[in-house]
Amino acid sequence: MIPDSDNPREACGVFGVFAPGEDVARLTFYGLYALQHRGQESAGIASSNGLGDFILRTGMGLVSQVFDEEDLAFLRGHIAIGHTRYSTAGGSLACNAQPIVVRDPETGEEIALAHNGNLTNYEVLRDDLIAQGVEIRSNADSEVMAHLLALAPGKTWEERFHYMMRRVEGAYSLVVMTRDKLFAVRDPMGVRPLCVGRLNGHGYVFASESCALEHLGLEMEREIRPGEVVQIDASGARSFFPAPEARKGAACTFEFTYFARPDSKFMGELIYPVREELGAALAREHAVDADLVIGVPDSAIPAAIGYARESGIPYREGLVKNRYVGRTFIQPDQRIREAGVSLKFNALGDVLRGKRVVLVDDSIVRGTTTPHVISLIRKAGATEVHMRVTTPPIAWPCFFGVDMATRAELIAANKSVEEIRKHIGADSLGYLSVEGLNRATRQSENNLCNACFTGSYPINVQMQMDRLEVKRREPALAGAESLNRAGGP
């Protein structure tokens, strides 16, 4: 595989539209296109005309690879939901592509669901559904939520969502479609983003990020509140809060530092100036004598500009990113494999030669890519490389929709800052503090999830920690067993 970055893996993107008389499939396509940065493994759109079964198209690959004009013409109706996916719970398989469509066992009507996030009690819920005779067709937690809604007792949708949200634990921002209704749902902790905009005064559009609305010429009306369900149908919009209020908010700080596009708004803040302030805070906490500041493209560029402005050290572009090198199934030959990270980045020797460089990035997860980036900068002629990171050391895994790593794989869980500095080959290394991160986002620590830095999770995840440890040990145990069978020690 062509080497990828060592950043946390993307979340997913969801999009929904209720707009009679509009080409909802085309709107959804372009909405997903704007959310492509949140997931590149699969994409899907489901539509409803309010009369019969849904029309569904899903496929593996980028949004532009999955859909063509024939698909969009086929996806008729006045309601549509869409999804672009990076797998967390469940693998990168066609059966896990969303939206997920299930049937109400009593009425036979379909329910479609698209999900961004991750359930921490997925396996318990899945086993319970199977014991009830429910056929589970994927290994994604999103299907569990769809079945819970389909099976939920109660005559109203408020009662059904109360049943589902009372049973699930973890992170979820959802768009849910029935034959004549569209719902937008955000978990009580507000881990993942979700917002709404108006379309021509009579339609509603929901998206993971406000940038998807702006690409369609729409203004964000507001963000969906934690624990809120917004219902849209022919009679208009209403909202309700079917689940108990969470004891604390848990908005993911990585939305501010990495996931969201810089032109999106989250928690009332535009992402770009927040990232600039992250860099400025880093300059205040970890000053150094240097000749220029560069950022690792693309997400760390605003932070590098902020660092440069606060420190008075000039900002320059020292790394150029090849934006078209992504996941590929074509195996590289030895020369390409040895080229490694230089396939993704190219260092500008004329800018870096003879310079003391501050290199700003948003995270170091496993520590697999950063040494290659620093080596690339040194080969381009830099005399010193000072690494600065806009997040604290990542020492704990995430269970809320970020594919990070196990604790055994996280470099900061197993090495000191000085040991990490030596491992990556930097002249100095500085991480932003948790306090500096919170101040830069302009959020109270009671509204943020910093569990991957602190180990303090917003809900009990001990069962998930134990399961990760068992999975980590399984390969070693299997190896020991094979040695014993072979007569080894």
Q: What is the pLDDT along the chain (489 residues), one digit of tens a residue?
A: 333 456 665 569 999 999 999 999 999 999 999 999 998 889 999 999 998 899 999 999 899 999 999 999 999 999 999 999 775 444 445 667 899 999 999 899 999 999 999 999 999 999 999 999 999 998 888 999 999 999 999 889 999 999 999 999 999 999 999 999 999 999 999 999 999 999 988 899 999 999 999 999 999 999 999 999 999 999 999 999 999 889 899 999 999 999 999 999 999 999 999 999 999 999 999 999 999 999 999 899 999 999 999 999 999 999 998 876 554 445 556 665 555 666 788 999 999 999 999 999 999 999 988 999 999 999 999 999 999 999 999 999 998 878 777 888 999 999 999 999 999 999 999 999 999 999 999 999 999 999 999 999 999 887 777 666 555 555 444 444 433 333 332
> In degrees rounded to 5, what are phi and psi of residue 85?
-125, 140
Q: What angle do CA 354, 356, 361 make, to 5 degrees?
A: 125
Contact 65, 80 (CB under 8 A): no
> In degrees rounded to 5, what are phi and psi of residue 441?
-80, -10
- The residues, ordered by sequence, that sit 6+ positions from 312 with a Cβ below 8 Å of its Cβ are none
CB count, 10 Å around CB of 201?
5
Residue with tokens 């004549």, as numbered in its chain: 180
Q: Which helix (H) or strand (E) holds 164?
A: helix 157-167
Please report the pLDDT score of residue 485 as a whole number: 36
* E strands, 241-355, in order: 251-252, 265-266, 269-270, 292-295, 319-321, 345-347
In terms of Cα–Cα distance, which of 206, 361, 214, 194 is closest to 266?
Answer: 194
Q: Structure tokens of 244?
A: 């108990």
Q: Which whole-number Å values give the CA distances from 272 to 34, 140, 233, 306, 362, in the listed order?
A: 17, 33, 35, 10, 13
Q: Structure tokens of 188?
A: 């009580």
Give catalytic status of residue 398 as yes or no.
Answer: no
Summarised one tens digit per residue, pLDDT across range 276-305 is: 999 999 999 999 999 999 999 989 999 999
For the entire predicted model, the pTM comes to: 0.89
Chain CA centroid to CA 233, Å: 29
Q: Provide the residue ranges of all domains of the chain, joining segments of one domain with +.
A: 13-246, 265-454, 463-489
Contact 205, 82 (CB under 8 A): no
CATH architecture for segment(s) 13-246: 4-Layer Sandwich (3.60)
Separation of alpha carbons 301 and 28, rounded Å: 29
Please report the pLDDT score of residue 111 as a whole number: 97
Please report the pLDDT score of residue 481 as a whole number: 43
Separation of alpha carbons 58 and 142, rounded Å: 15
In terms of Cα–Cα distance, which of 59, 63, 57 is closest to 31?
Answer: 63
Please report the pLDDT score of residue 483 as a whole number: 35
Q: What is the CATH number of domain 265-454?
A: 3.40.50.2020
Long-range contacts of 292-295 (CB under 8 A, 24+ apart): 292/316, 292/318, 292/351, 292/352, 292/355, 292/356, 292/357, 292/358, 293/357, 293/358, 293/360, 294/318, 294/319, 294/351, 294/352, 294/357, 294/358, 294/359, 294/360, 294/377, 295/319, 295/359, 295/360, 295/361
Contact 280, 310 (CB under 8 A): yes
Separation of alpha carbons 8 and 254, rounded Å: 9
Please report the pLDDT score of residue 337 as a whole number: 58
